[in-house]
Amino acid sequence: MASSQKRISKELAEVTTNPPAGITVSLVDEANVHNWNIVMDGPEGSPYAGGKFKLLLVLPTDYPFKPPKINFKTRIWHPNVTFDEHGSMCVGILKPEAWKPSSKIMSVLTATQQLLIEPVPDDALEANAAEKFKNNRAEFNKEAKEWTKKYAK
């Protein structure tokens, strides 16, 4: 769909010329605007600080009518991200029932950043991490820091 491509390249231009702090965006394949590589710095004040996390953002062909999908390609110990090679993530505004075609990718990226600072344990994908986050914050932070050191250099 040509009109969706136009909107995507517009948003891509917006994000590359004026990127949010700690985020760099590039295309996986320069001929295809639907797959974006995101490199996100672990936010200061979170256990992920100092790490560089690689994400893959996939925009569906019927974007903006369907929400984009984001996966962590760098393993991350986080209640809302599966701790496996898929790195599936769940963030509120990307849920199909909450997605609005007027939302921007920029806001998706900042929401993801916000999720690293403030996990939502009630909406967890990784139950183990969510449990530790709720009940033993120190232990959670320690473990998250360790995984960050191990994978997100």
Partner 1 sequence: MNSGPDSADVFLESLGDSPSGETSAPNTIARPLPLSSFSSIPYTVQFEINPESTAFITSSPGSPSLSATHKESLTLSSLELNLRHTVDFRAITYDGTIDENLMCPICRCPLVNPVLTDCDHIFCRECIGDSLSHSELCPIDRFPLSLKDLMKAPKMVFNQLDSLKAKCPCCNIAFARSMLEHHMEKYCPESLVRCSALHSSKKCAGVVKRRLSDQGCLHYQVQCPDCMETLEQAQMEDHCHTVCKQRLAPCEHCTTIILRHKKVEHEESCSEVCRPCQWKEYGCSYEAKQDNLQLHNDKCTFKLFGAIAENIKKEVNDLRKEVGNLKETNHLQERRIKFLESGQKASEKPFEFMDSSDANLSDTANAETLDTGHEYLLSLLEVQQNRISNLAAELSELRAKHTVMLFNETIPMKNELAELRSTQQVTCMHVRWLMRFRMQENQRRFGGGPGPAPSGPDGGGPSNEMPLGRRLSDSMTRDLITKL
Residues with a catalytic annotation lie at 90
Q: Which of 18, 21, 29, 118 binds partner 1 (CB under 8 A)?
A: 29
**What is the rounded CA–CA span in Å between residue 148 and residue 129?**
14
- Per-residue interface string for the shown chain with partner 1, residues 43-72, x marking contact by CB under 8 A: -----------x-x-----x-xxx------
Interface size with partner 1, residues (CB under 8 A): 40
Per CB under 8 A, contacts with partner 1 among 106-145 are none
CB of 152 to partner 1, least distance (A): 8
Q: Which of 34, 37, 94, 121 binds partner 1 (CB under 8 A)?
A: 37
Contact footprint for partner 1 (CB under 8 A): 2-3, 5-7, 9-13, 16, 24-31, 33, 37, 39, 54, 56, 62, 64-66, 73-75, 84-85, 100-102, 104, 150-152
